[in-house]
Structure 1
Amino acid sequence: MTGRMENSRLPRLFMGLLIAVHLGLALWGLMGFAEMIFPAVPWPAISNPKFTGSILFLQWGLVLVAAALFLGGSWARWPQTPRAMLGIYLLMAALCAVQNLFYLDHAARFFAVSLEYAAYTVILLFLFRSAYARAFYCRA
């Protein structure tokens, strides 16, 4: 970390949380693809049976791309990481809308969409507006 980054622990902790979340997304995506490839897996199914194979392929692919972009971009301190995350989160948000409008029918689906969109918004605000993130990705 450079001396130009905020001294507060909160931005560092939030970045650590984002790294942990994206590590979890990578694992989740790999598990989802494994369910598509292998007839049996040693864990309870995580793929929604209401989704078609194409939708699941997009879902797990986007999840893995998001994890790879964030983790790789953070490791390399790639200045375009925030823009790349904006692009992948837009694609994930669009897929989320399709899944919730055309496939799912549970009562809490719009609440779930709201939470997902709020998470994307908070992460992107941090990546684009935080002095810590700007310095971290060498964009200060």
Structure 2
Amino acid sequence: MGDRLTQLQDAVDQLAQQFVSSIHYINRHHSLQLLGPNDQIRDVKPEPGQEDVDPHAPETFKASQIELAQDLITKEQQIELLISILPGLDNSEQDQERNIKELEEELKAAEAQRQKAIKEKAEIMTKLDTVIRSIRRP
């Protein structure tokens, strides 16, 4: 899993994709209705690759709209959460500097452990090499 900014960017991209998908669904599955007495539904031949309107039943269409809206709201809330946990919003500059220093100390300790493990590995490899060279065939 990526860092918080990457997660935020992914969530915003997903929200944009959900908006596009929602608009596509509504555009594709709405029922053709007249909005006023002078309105007319034109009989337009779709261009190649363009889809016709395929109306869903009113109950199904309404339920789908509600589900799409809930999905958009959920994604927006996830984005709000990611934004709220970004560093710097509730942290002062001193808190951030202190956190950076703590992380630097942890990094130094981890590097010291790594160097110690490398040294132990080299010693063990040397011992193993000595043992292997000392073995004689019967």
For normalisation by structure 1, the TM-score amounts to 0.33
Which structure is higher in RCO with an 8 Å CA cutoff and minimum separation 6? 1
Question: Comparing both structures, which one devotes a greater share of its residues to helix?
Answer: 1
For normalisation by structure 2, the TM-score amounts to 0.34
Which has more radius of gyration? 2
